[in-house]
Every structure is written in structure tokens, then in C-alpha cells.
Chains A and B, each alone.
Chain A
Amino acid sequence: MSGLVMPAPKADVLARRARIVADLRAIVPGEGVIDAEAEMRPFESDGVTAYRQLPLVVVLPSTTEQVSKVLAYAHANGIPVVPRGAGTSLSGGALPLEDGILLGMGKFNRILDIDFENRTVVAQPGVTNLGITTAVAHEGFYYAPDPSSQIACTIGGNVGENSGGVHCLKYGLTTNNVLGVEMVLISGEVIRLGGKHLDSGGLDLLGLIVGSEGLLGVVTEVTVRILKKPETARAVLVGFPSSEAAGACVAAIIAAGIIPGGMEMMDKMMVHAAEAFLGAGYPLDVEALLIVELDGPEAEVNHLIERVAEIAGTLGCLTLRASTSEEERVAFWAGRKAAFPAVGRISPDYLCMDGTIPRKALPLVLKRMEEMSEKYGLRCGNVFHAGDGNLHPLICYDANQPGQLEKAEAFGADILLLCVEVGGVLTGEHGVGVEKRDLMPSMFNEIDLAHQQRLKCAFDPDALLNPGKVFPVLHRCAELGRMHVSGGKLPFPDLPRF
């Protein structure tokens, strides 16, 4: 792996490996504990394949009680634990540690309760994102957040990363759609938060747990809300002579009070790559392509499609096609959804970045990315969740060319720093993991990070859950707990205090 420094493995843990494996076998019987190198290989990386590490041991529990015992054991023996769902993380969140237990949640694959009247599903964390939708589709319902990886990624991993999808501008991210969790703390204690009801009355711990990247506890059950599938969905495909014009169109649609179900932008390189890959029928003579999907009751969709077409027309679009059938709508999306494999065909390797920017900064960011592309000598295509400003630059490189991975990584880091510079953030939906860990100080100062870590300390005082992720430096909790406050004059005496 390139340049990534992980916490030094604990020599005493490595030395006790045989003992630890035997103890874990007493908790999770049979095939639930894997220690043979060949069988651990499939777990050595997640979606960021540039980073690989064999874990100390893989444990695949199937009950909450086993999870609880494994964590209590790890806690008592100072052994790190890395939770893993399907391992599709694009930030290295599920990257194993040499001295750590890789806790695979794949056996938690049952849906426990479907309640159409209250519009909720209770699922174990290893159920796939699409699995939830599939289980309720016969009644016309679905689970709204739809990451492109939805056939593979798990609801537990979605909670870990607070994942989004193309529909999250209108329907929210994972956090807006999760109602409750059961979670095991590193002590082995089990907590239940939320349920089929809304909100918590007091402190919103659930809101902290979603997106915590496996650093606060292991989720063993998730309650989500489900929605009725929209009656109709139609998409318009709009080509523009420049990304500025496309960006202006996105802003104008939102300013007109329209929140589309999905609003995606692709740049010229991606349009061409997608077209070459599967002939989606995209116009090739445009600099930027927008897919705007309106969903809801039929009368509303038809009305809004007209308004979107009007807006696009006044902003000088070159081409505009509205889908007239479900097949056509699906075809419009097919190219966008195949963006990754399409790039895979034109480049041996690529890095997928994930920054968010205020949308108005788009022209500037695209221009600067072009300059970077020249500087690094690497091509870069862009797909973009245009509605919410979430950029996915795809940096093409060849891992077999010495130095290219490092160059691609440096290019990626420059893009993310640029996102922060223009008022945006390092990651919109993929998480910090190890990939953006060392960039955190560009967004947060020491005090900001220390406050986040104090939260970590409340859950996991010995930093055993997923260490080496998210935080560039993990301070000891005892050190963070101390308070140095001096002073104590009555504040601002010049002010009336009644």
C-alpha cells in the first residue's frame, strides 16, 4: 500500500494469536472463525483495493450474543476489532488490521419484521440494501437510499458510512431513513435506540451512530422506514454546451422550487465512456449532460417535466429528451449507472473521489481539476450528484506503471483540498476511512477533532474499534479527558447582566 501509516500492531497480541483463535472458537463455533491465510484473503481489502492487509483472524458471528462475547473478549484482552459488512467501502473503512479481529457481519442476513401499516422494516445488518426493497416491493414499497452498490452493500455498512444514492436530495441519506438500531458496545453491553417511533425525546444518539464508520460499536439490528414507490417516474436528458450552463440549469430548477427525485451531471469524457460502453443513446456533441428525474403522482410529474424543459430551454440547452416509457427512463440511467465499469474499460485502474462543494463553485472546481489533470498527466472524468453538489471525479491511472498510483492519490488529495477550499467537504457519502484520514486537519482544527474524539472515548475508551480510521492522530482518552481552564474573571463586565 502506498504511504499509508496504520497504528503499529501490538506485539503481544500478535504473539498470542493461537490462544486468541482458540478462545474465539469457544465463542463462535464451527466455521465462524477463520485463521487460514488462503481463507482470510477475500477479507484483506474492501472497495479500495490499493490497500490490503490480512487480519489477525476473521470471525463471522451469527447472533448478538456472540458479537457481545467477542467484543467483551477483545475488550478484556486489548485486541482491536474491525467491523465489516460486504466490504464495498470506498474509503478503506473495512480495511483489516494485522493485530485485529475482522468481524464479518454477513451471517446476520435475515429480515426480522415487515410492518406495512407502520411503514417499517427491521433487518439484521448483513441484509443487502436492495434486499430490503426486494422484500417489500410486492406491496409497492421500497427503501429509499440507493447507493450504486446496492445489490452488494449491506444495511449495516450503510449505517456505518451514512450512505447516499442518486435519490438522496429528495429522500435523504441513510441517517434520514433509519429509525432504530441495536448495537453492541466494545464492553459487550447491548443498547437499543429508537424503534418504530420517531425521534428520541432527548439526546439523539442514533444520529451520532449513523456514519460513525464502525468506530463506536457493532450494529446488530436496524429499523428503517420504507416508502411507497412513486406512482410514476420520468427522466429528461439534457445536453449543454458547457458545464457552467448545466450548473446554471441545476440552480434554476431548484430556485424554481422543484426538488427532482434525481439530478445527475456527467462531463464529456464520461458521456463518451458510457456511450462507448453500452450505447445508451447519449448525445456526444455536448460538454455536459444532465439527467433530471421527476417522480411522484403522474399529473405532478408531467407538469414538472414541462417546467424543467422550459428552464433548460431558456438556459440554452443543445438537446433535450424526456422519457416516454419506463424502458426509455431506465435506458437514460443505464449509462450513468455504468459509469464505473465504463471507465474501467478505458483505463486499467481508477480512483473514485467523493467531495461535496457548494454548487455555485462548480465551474471553478472543474477548471482547476482540468489544470490538475494536466499537471499530473492523468485523465479525470466527472460524474456528479448535481442536486446536492456531491462530486465523483474518477481519476484514471495504471497501477503497473511505477509511481502512477502515488500520482493518482496526490491528484485525488488535491481535488479534496480544493473542495474544502471552496467551502465544501472531504466526503459526501463514502466516508473518511483511511483514505481521507490524513486530510481531516484541512477541515477541522485540533479542538474540533478533540471534541469528536471525546465522543469516541465515551463509547470506546481504549480505542479498540476500528483504530487507524477517520482520525489522523488518536489521542489517549485520559489525555483528552483532562481540562485546563484558568481565568475566571466575571465575563464581559462592561455588559449589562441585569
Chain B
Amino acid sequence: MSERLCPRDEADVVEAVRWAVSNGRTLDVAGSGSKAGLGRHIQTDATLELSGLSGVTLYEPEELVLSAKAGTQVAEIEALVAASKQMLAFEPMDFGPLLGLAPGGGTLGGLMACNLAGPRRPSAGAARDHALGIRAVSGRAEAFKAGGRVVKNVTGYDLPRGLAGSYGTLAAFTELTIKVLPRPETVETLLLLGLDPAAAAAAMSAAVGSYYDVSGAAHVPEAVAAAIAAVAGAGTAVTALRLEGVQPSIRHRRGKLEAMLRTHGTLSFLDADASRGFWQAVRDVTPFAVPLPPALPDPALMAGLDPATQSEAVLRPQGLGPRVKPGDEGAHLENHPALWRISVAPMAGPSVGAALREIGARCLYDWAGGLVWAEMPGAEPQTAAVRAAVAAAGGGHATLIRASAAARAAEEVFQPLDPITGALIARMKNGFDPGRVLSPGRIYAGV
């Protein structure tokens, strides 16, 4: 079984990387692994688990800024900012349901390393757009910083943004500073019923391209809608347009949008509570969730066991729900349908969906059609068909989110790179992690 290293602070992280470099060992950089089933499947000599670097170090609501150690739970941050009527505007999704883990896991470092974003992405940006500053340890066993703590800064290269989406392959974040924004006072959702994906994309394009500040536009086909409580009763496909803000504004915008979209289909409506439930389901893609695996023994029960026995199971902090056996991350996903996350131009979403429906996939469309979640009919990822559909739609990227470890080791999980960009990224890896100790191969083979 591989070593688990649990640093307490940045100096420990430097030590851990130094150990790895000088002994030629590889490290799996992990928040604490809620997305272990995500990305290429890699084998490392040890796991560098950063959840011990925890705690919000600065929060100034009037300055719209928050800093926290990289291992801080996202749920903790969201609760803290909510108390000041603020939010992480990029609406980071919770991968728990899709990966068969309890919801509510996930650290700030993991969120940034995966560059997450939910339904508000088109209007508010992704995690990258809210990254202001970082402290991190590169594969050279050196701690460095970049960016700052103010919302407007162009001093030096934008490494905070550039390392968003690096999946732990260039550096381990130890502390991050992000921009937070006011939470909208309330929310409502306008629904169009019974549209096919192409008609839905046209309606969503009209709505998002209107004056009326639509902060979420999703299309859920009938069979998928049945799995979302807020709209299951509709009994048909729903196209949802979210309106957020102050009540007088929402009322005005809803009226205008209704007048504008009347010709597109039958109108319906979700109130604030139903809206929150619906958009969370879209954000976390719960219609394609898989059940939690059977629970392992409770940590409390194992506290008395000797270390050798303990290592058979993983002790998790209290309250995290069922645990997964080390080395088994993703193993319980073996027989579930493969799942893709596909980003294309919004109007191209329906054509990708149509191509994938022919091979039996079910789809859910977010980002006004630009984000297609495609659940394959079986465990087989059918990568060639997915890549072909994306290319035919004018390009974009498809990421295999859920598949067996074997499939994730065999396939390109991320959109393959052209050789020139690939070589460039390999040179970046050489610069930041010449010994290739940090999550090597997590995004691209050999890097």
C-alpha cells in the first residue's frame, strides 16, 4: 500500500516534496480525494493529502476577498460567506453524487486544481476567474507565491489563473485567495416545456442574449427531468432560465422574457425554493448520480485498532459519510455507466447530443447548450464516438468524468492536445516539476 503523507503546514509540504524528489518517488497531490475517481488513473508511490492545511485566514466581505489554506473544505467556506450574504459566484459543483461519494466533500485546493464551475459559468466565470492569489509548492520543493489579495492585479504572469485546472501536476497549492461576490437576494426560474434540444438552444440563446440577465440556462430532456424533483411533475422536457437579483428586477425581467418566449413553447415557473433545488440538481448532475458504496467501519470503532490493521481502512474526519478503501478510489464505479462532460459552443450542444443519442447516451444541457453531460448506455466510454461528435460540432473539449479505473488508465481522459501544445505543456512541467513527482500523468500521459 502506498504511503500517505499528511502535512500540517507549508514547510511540511516542502519537506514531503523534497523527500519525493530526492528518493525518486511520485506523489498523488490530493485535497483529500473526493475527486480521486476523476482524471487519468495514476499509480503513485505516496499520497500527499493536503486536508491538514485547513482554515480561512482572511475574509473581508467589503473587499470581496477571502483567503484560506488549500485543504479547507469548500462547504465550510460556502457557509462562512453565506453568513455575510456572499457566495462563490462560479457555483462550484459537488462531484460527490457523480462519483459515488457523500455530498459536501471537496477542498478549496481541489476546486481550484479542477477549475470547477456550475450553471452560473457563462455569466460569472469559472473558478479561474475568481482566483486572485496563490501560495504553492512546486515539484522543485520550493514554496512560491503569485498574484495578490486585491481584485485587480496584473503584476507578473497570472499564475493563479494559469494553475487553475492543473490537477496537482505543476504545484501543490497551500493557500489560495479568491474573489467572493454578493449573493443574489432571491431567485426564480422560468420554464419552457416540451422543447427538443435544438429548439431549446434557440430559446436559451435568445434569452441569454437579451437584456434580462439570465444567470443560468439549462435544458433537461424528459427522461432526465423525471429524476429532478422540482420538475419531475412536468412530465416533459424542461428548458430552464434562471433569474436572480432583487425582487422588483426579477418581476420585470420575468414579464419581459415571458412576452419574448411565448412563441417558443408552453411557459411555466419555479419559485425560489424549487429553483434552488432544481439548479443544485443541474449543478451536481444528480440525474446521473450513482449510489454510495457500502460504508466501511466507523473511525470511532477503529480508533483502538493497531496501525497495521488501521491501514486496511481509511480513517476519515467525522461526518464525511461512507469511506472508500485506499487504492480503491473509483473501484466502486466499475460497473456504472461512463459519463462525459463536454464543452462546445452553446449552439453546437444539440448536435453533439444528437450524435451521442444515436449510440444510446442520455444528455443534460447546461450553459445555454454549451455544456453537455452525456451518460453512456454502459460502462464503455465510447471515446472515439464522443471525440468525433465534438470535432463535428466545431471543436471544444470532452472530459471523461466517470469510468472504470482501467478505462481511465487506457483512454485519454482529457481532450487530446495537438503535438505543439503538448510539447509546450511538457516544457512547463519540466520547469515546475522536473523530477515529475507531482501527480505525473494525471492530465496527460508522461506529464
How far is it, in angstroms, between the C-alpha of A216 and the C-alpha of B65 when the chains are bound? 30
Partner of A389, one of B85, B122, B125, B152: B152
Q: How long is the Cα–Cα vector from A475 to B397 in the complex, in angstroms?
A: 36
Q: How large is the interface on A (under 10, 10 to 19, 20 to 34, 35 or more residues)?
A: 35 or more
User: How distant is B392 from chain A, measured CB to nearest CB, in Å?
Assistant: 14
- Contact partner, A458, options B310, B367, B427, Cβ 8 Å: B427
Interface residue B370 (Cβ < 8 Å from any Cβ of A): yes
Partner of A119, one of B117, B169, B209: B209
Set of chain A residues within 8 Å of B63, measured between Cβ atoms = 358-360, 389
Q: Which residues of A contact B156 (CB under 8 A)?
A: 432, 440, 443-444, 448-449, 452, 470
Chain B residues, CB < 8 A from A428: 150, 152-154
Q: Is A242 located at the chain interface by the 8 A CB criterion?
A: no
The residue that A357 contacts in the complex, of B150, B154, B209, B246, with Cβ under 8 A, is B150
**Do A208 and B7 have beta carbons less than 8 Å apart?**
no
Interface pair B148/A425, CB less than 8 Å apart: yes
Contact partners of B315 in chain A: CB under 8 A? 498
- Measured CB to CB, the closest approach of chain B to A84, in angstroms, equals 18
| Residue pair B126, A202 in contact (C-beta under 8 Å) | no
Q: A427-B155, A451-B144, A452-B159 are in contact. Are A358 and B246 (CB under 8 A)?
A: no
Q: CA of A300 to CA of B344 in the docked complex: distance in angstroms?
A: 32
Interface centre among B6, B63, B205, B307 (most CB of A within 10 A): B63
Chain A CB count within 10 A is highest, among B18, B431, B432, for: B431
Contact A458 B344 (CB under 8 A): no
CA A168 – CA B179 in complex, angstroms? 13
Please tell me if the beta carbons of B183 and A257 are within 8 angstroms of each other in the complex: yes
* A425:B153 contact, CB within 8 angstroms: yes
> Which of A189, A203, A299, A385 is B165 in contact with, Cβ under 8 Å?
A203
Query: Nearest chain-A residue to B393 (Cβ)?
Result: A197
- Contact in complex: A425, B155 (CB < 8 Å): yes
- Which of B247-255, B259-267, B379-387 contacts its partner? B247-255
Which residues from chain B contact A407 at a C-beta distance below 8 Å?
Answer: none
Does A37 lie at the interface of the complex (its beta carbon under 8 Å from any beta carbon of B)? Answer: no
Docked complex: B155-191 residues within 8 A CB-CB of A: 155-159, 161-167, 169-170, 181-183, 185
Q: Are B22 and A491 in contact (CB under 8 A)?
A: no
Chain B contacts for A389, CB-based, 8 A: 63, 150-152
Residues of chain B within 8 A (CB-CB) of A175 are: 129, 158, 161
Given the complex, which residues of A lie within 8 Å of B269, measured CB to CB? Answer: none
Q: Kindly specify which of B70-78, B353-361, B414-422 makes contact with the partner chain.
A: B414-422
Nearest CB of chain B from residue A416's CB, rounded to whole Å: 10
Identity of the chain B residue whose Cβ is nearest the Cβ of A497 in the assembled complex: B4
Verify if B141 is at the interface (C-beta below 8 Å from A).
Answer: yes
Q: Roughly how many angstroms separate A141 CA and B399 CA in the complex, as a whole number?
A: 32
Q: Decide if A241 is an interface residue (CB 8 Å cutoff).
A: no
Q: Check if B311 sits within 8 Å of A498, measured CB to CB.
A: yes
Question: Contacts A199-B115, A228-B211: A385 and B152 contacting too (C-beta < 8 A)?
Answer: yes
Shortest Cβ distance from A477 into B: residue: B431
Q: Quote the shortest CB–CB distance from B142 to chain A (angstroms).
A: 5
Q: Which residues of A contact B210 (CB under 8 A)?
A: 228
Question: Is the CB–CB distance between A116 and B150 below 8 Å?
Answer: no
Q: Shortest distance in angstroms between A21's beta carbon and chain B's nearest beta carbon?
A: 29
Task: Decide if B185 touches A448 in the complex (CB within 8 Å).
Answer: no
Q: Which residues of chain B are within 8 angstroms of A296 by Cβ–Cβ distance?
A: 213, 249
Cβ of B149 within 8 Å of any chain A Cβ, yes or no, is yes
Interface residues of A in 190-209 (CB under 8 A from B): 190-193, 195-205, 207-208
Q: Does B223 sit within 8 A of A, measured CB to CB?
A: no
Q: Which residues of A contact B151 (CB under 8 A)?
A: 169, 356, 388-389
Cβ A162 vs Cβ B154 within 8 A = yes
Q: Map CB proximity to A onto B1-20 as digits: 1 under 8 Å, 0 otherwise.
A: 00111111000100110110
Chain B residues close to A by CB (< 8 Å): 3-8, 12, 15-16, 18-19, 21-23, 60-65, 85, 115, 117, 121-122, 125-126, 128-129, 138, 140-146, 148-159, 161-167, 169-170, 181-183, 185, 202, 205, 208-213, 245-246, 248-249, 251-253, 256, 307, 310-311, 314-315, 326, 343-348, 367, 370-371, 394-399, 414-415, 418, 420-421, 424-425, 427-428, 430-432, 434-435, 443-444
Q: Which 8 A-B pairs have the closest CB atoms?
A: A488-B22, A300-B249, A454-B431, A207-B161, A257-B182, A208-B162, A299-B252, A196-B345
Interface residues of A (CB under 8 A from B): 115-120, 140-141, 161-162, 164, 168-169, 172-173, 175-176, 185, 189-193, 195-205, 207-208, 210-212, 228-231, 251-252, 254-255, 257-259, 296-300, 303-304, 356-360, 385, 388-390, 423-432, 436, 440, 443-444, 447-452, 454-459, 461, 470, 480-481, 483, 485-492, 495-498
